[in-house]
Structure 1
Amino acid sequence: MNAVLAGLRGFAGYLGGVLGADAYQKYLAHHEAPGHTGAPLTEREFWRDRSDRQEAAPQGRCC
């Protein structure tokens, strides 16, 4: 049973990555790299900025 749950968690993590749900966590990891001097955006600011950039310069997407 534990193997099934682990498999489902792995699939959920994969699906979240494909859909971009982990984008903020990736942003924070990137922001921790050397060379970033300012404070990172809050999660709300990050998603607003991402949405604004996609609206301003749309790229190929399904919707």
Structure 2
Amino acid sequence: MRTRRALRALVRAGRAVHWYTTTLLGDHDYARYAAHVARVHPGTDPGSEAAYWRARHAEQDAHPGARCC
């Protein structure tokens, strides 16, 4: 019983670390953007994921602001 509880805690911690790193790195940003476009601008094409990332990186390069790299 103790082993099973420890395993569940380890799995839960692993999922939390995975969620944190994917959120920090922006892995879900395009999906969030596409959902926003669908909700706020119905019928509008959000564009491709590649175009989204190109525009996002171009914006960051043009206006770096405060960031580590």
TM-score by length of 1: 0.78
Gaps of 5+ in 1: none
Count of residue pairs the alignment pairs up: 63
Partner of 2:27: 21
Distance 1:28 1:3 in 2: 33
Distance 1:49 1:13 in 2: 25
Larger helix percent = 2
Shift of 1:58: 1.2
Distance 1:61 1:43 in 2: 23
TM-score by length of 2: 0.73
RMSD in angstroms over aligned alpha carbons? 1.6
Partner of 1:8: 14
Shift of 1:37: 4.2
Where does 1:1-63 land on structure 2 (aligned, <5 Å)? 1-63=7-69
Q: Give CA-to-partner distance per residue, 1:25-62, whole Å, 9 cap, x none.
A: 21112111133442012111110010111111111100
List 4+ stretches of structure 1 deviating above 3 A.
Answer: none
Larger radius of gyration: 2
The sequence identity of aligned pairs, in percent, is 32
Gaps of 5+ in 2: 1-6
